[in-house]
Amino acid sequence: MALEGQKFIPFVEKMIEKLEIGKNFEQVDFIAGIAYFLSYIAEYKKAESLYKRVLHISEKILGEEHPDSAIYKVLVRRLGINHPNTQIVYENMKE
């Protein structure tokens, strides 16, 4: 199933190009969803880039000291972007 998702990469890349990153917090869920999809189909470098954008937006809007920003930053640094615990926390942040 993950291999079938690879055919959507050009579409996803076009969506990413059109985003005005950092304009509002509502984009965080959308960008995170795309990043999750990319990590699911093993496009880890592209997913990591988007997760970094999400972190940047969160820090800009919520502040670096906000629990969501701080927890995600530590998890990414210590466990990596694709670690299951990082993904769980990130999914919980979207709710």
pLDDT over 60 (residue 21) = no
Confidence label for 73 from pLDDT (cuts 50, 70 and 90): confident
pLDDT over 70 (residue 10) = yes
Confidence label for 15 from pLDDT (cuts 50, 70 and 90): confident
Q: What is the mean pLDDT of the chain?
A: 76
pLDDT over 80 (residue 17) = no
DSSP letter at 41 equals T
Q: Structure tokens of 27?
A: 């984009």
- The mean pLDDT value for 71-87 works out to 78
